[in-house]
């Protein structure tokens, strides 16, 4: 049977061989731009090993000679047979080998080239011309093309018979008075058919029924199903804009496409390309059971949710109205086992317990404000500095102008200057003794201070003065004070 079929093919060669040669002669001076580019590429590679991966897939299109016409018919089978029988000197060329080496066919119905053109290739091409086999289906993939308006993206269904989704990615495109940016994605469940490897898509891009912005896409898949090309036309109210496009399938099965139009594709880390709220850099929503920012952590597992109320464990064991944890809507309870201890509670001074959660136990008496104090009152000038913890006074300076009388008839006056480097505050008081002689008089006394309030104090000097006279020694007791 195979011999009879081969004889039939040989008969076809005798009948059509001259016609095939005539075809080649008639069109030999009209080479396609694609063929010229391929031949030049091959010439540059020389006669050594050639990398032909960038050229077209085997489709059986070899005729007319030196100028394939993009159609597979009986003429291609006849010319391929002539190559196999050695009747075309200098042929097949490297380009013709790429197109004509179609046998054997694999289990998937696609060519598995064996590196030569023989009768088996002519038979396969004849069967394709007669419609007995066809491997010219679009790849089951997603496609992308650059156009005058931006990117055109479309998806072919699982059996390659229809385009089911198209996306128009406008990049500051202007047509007439209209300017567009952003992405419009349209899904057609029944699909736009790819009849004879061709398809047409029509969409109204404006949702307003009173405004028409029709976009028409026409396309054709090549014999190999690895390239597509076509035209686009936008018919707007005040202008018509158009152009052409060339598309290639996305090699990573669509992972470079942004299906949900959130600015990220699967290949860019989008962990769910059907949800625009899930992509790298998104804000983690802490109670939606999704990994919104695609960092591998969901809801409360994510560090962004540490202080979120939805992820907080808030405990109030002593039922005092204050939670032990921060971020729960109250100030932090420093002791959640005692209802008398919480922010705002009354702090009992000197008991060693921080009832109001201020960080320290309240001092009994008045705690003076830290910093520099000074004042002039009642015949005295006083200055000092209170430490940050309100426990000490540094660099006390006092000048007391004192006057008095002894036994009602003898008056006196003197000025006493005193200083101390460090004084401890006990409760709300401090004091130190003074013993000196002034003008032959002996003066003994005590400088003391009392903090009336946190920003007010009274400082006084109480003393006894002894004056020798003809009546012997007598003494008087008085004081003077200041309030910084």
**Domain spans in the chain, listed from the N-terminal domain onward:** 2-129, 142-249, 371-482
For residue 365, the model assigns a pLDDT of 66
Place of tokens 């001092």: 363
> Is 200 within 8 Å of 218 (Cβ atoms)?
yes
- Residue ranges, the chain, pLDDT below 50: 2-3, 6, 13-56, 407, 470-484
For residue 139, the model assigns a pLDDT of 59
CB under 8 Å to 2, separation ≥6 — which residues?
none
For residue 232, the model assigns a pLDDT of 96
For residue 74, the model assigns a pLDDT of 93
> Is 39 within 8 Å of 95 (Cβ atoms)?
yes
For residue 36, the model assigns a pLDDT of 41
Confidence (pTM): 0.36
For residue 166, the model assigns a pLDDT of 94
CB under 8 Å to 346, separation ≥6 — which residues?
355, 356
For residue 335, the model assigns a pLDDT of 93
For residue 2, the model assigns a pLDDT of 44
d(CA 477, CA 303): 73
> Is 55 within 8 Å of 98 (Cβ atoms)?
yes
CB under 8 Å to 64, separation ≥6 — which residues?
20, 23, 24, 26, 27, 28, 75, 79
């Amino acid at each position: 049977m195979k011999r009879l079929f081969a004889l039939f093919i040989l008969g076809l060669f005798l009948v059509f061989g001259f016609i095939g040669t005539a075809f080649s002669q008639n069109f030999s001076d009209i080479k396609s731009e694609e063929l010229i580019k391929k031949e030049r590429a091959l010439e540059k590679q020389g006669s050594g090993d050639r990398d032909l991966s960038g050229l077209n897939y085997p489709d059986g299109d070899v005729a007319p000679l030196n100028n394939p016409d993009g159609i597979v018919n009986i003429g291609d089978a006849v010319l391929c047979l002539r190559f196999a029988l050695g009747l075309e000197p200098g042929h097949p060329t490297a380009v013709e080998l790429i197109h004509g080496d179609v046998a054997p066919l694999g289990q998937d119905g696609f060519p598995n080239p064996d590196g030569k053109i023989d009768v088996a290739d002519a038979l396969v091409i004849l069967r394709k011309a007669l419609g007995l086999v066809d491997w010219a289906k679009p790849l089951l993939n997603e496609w992308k093309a650059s156009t005058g308006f931006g990117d055109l993206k479309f998806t072919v269904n699982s059996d390659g018979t229809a385009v089911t989704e198209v996306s128009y990615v406008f990049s500051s495109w202007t047509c007439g008075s209209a300017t567009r940016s952003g992405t419009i994605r349209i899904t057609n469940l029944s699909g736009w058919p790819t009849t004879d490897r061709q398809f047409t898509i029509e969409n109204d891009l404006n949702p307003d029924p009173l405004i028409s912005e029709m976009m028409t896409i026409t396309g054709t898949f090549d014999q190999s199903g690895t390239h597509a090309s076509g035209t686009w036309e936008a018919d707007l109210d005040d202008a018509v804009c158009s152009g052409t496009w060339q598309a290639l399938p996305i090699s990573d099965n669509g992972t470079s496409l942004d299906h949900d139009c959130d600015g990220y594709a699967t290949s860019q880390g989008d962990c769910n390309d059907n949800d625009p709220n899930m992509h790298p850099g998104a804000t983690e929503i802490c109670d939606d059971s999704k990994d919104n920012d695609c960092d591998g952590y969901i809801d409360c597992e994510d560090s962004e949710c540490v202080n979120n109320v939805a992820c907080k464990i808030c405990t109030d064991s002593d039922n005092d109205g204050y939670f032990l944890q921060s971020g729960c809507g109250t100030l932090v309870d420093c002791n959640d086992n005692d209802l008398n201890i919480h922010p705002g509670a009354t702090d009992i001074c000197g008991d060693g317990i921080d009832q109001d959660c201020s960080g320290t136990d309240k001092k009994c008496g008045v705690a003076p404000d830290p910093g520099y104090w000074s004042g002039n009152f009642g015949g005295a000038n006083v200055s000092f500095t209170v430490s940050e913890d309100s426990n000490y006074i540094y660099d006390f300076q006092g000048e007391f102008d004192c006057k008095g009388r002894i036994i009602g008839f003898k008056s006196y006056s003197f000025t006493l200057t005193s200083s101390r480097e460090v004084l401890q505050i006990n409760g709300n008081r401090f004091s130190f003794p003074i013993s000196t002689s002034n003008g032959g008089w002996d003066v003994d006394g005590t400088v003391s201070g009392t903090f009336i309030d946190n920003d007010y104090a009274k400082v006084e000097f109480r003393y006894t003065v002894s004056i020798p006279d003809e009546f012997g020694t007598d003494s008087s007791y008085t004081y003077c004070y200041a309030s910084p």
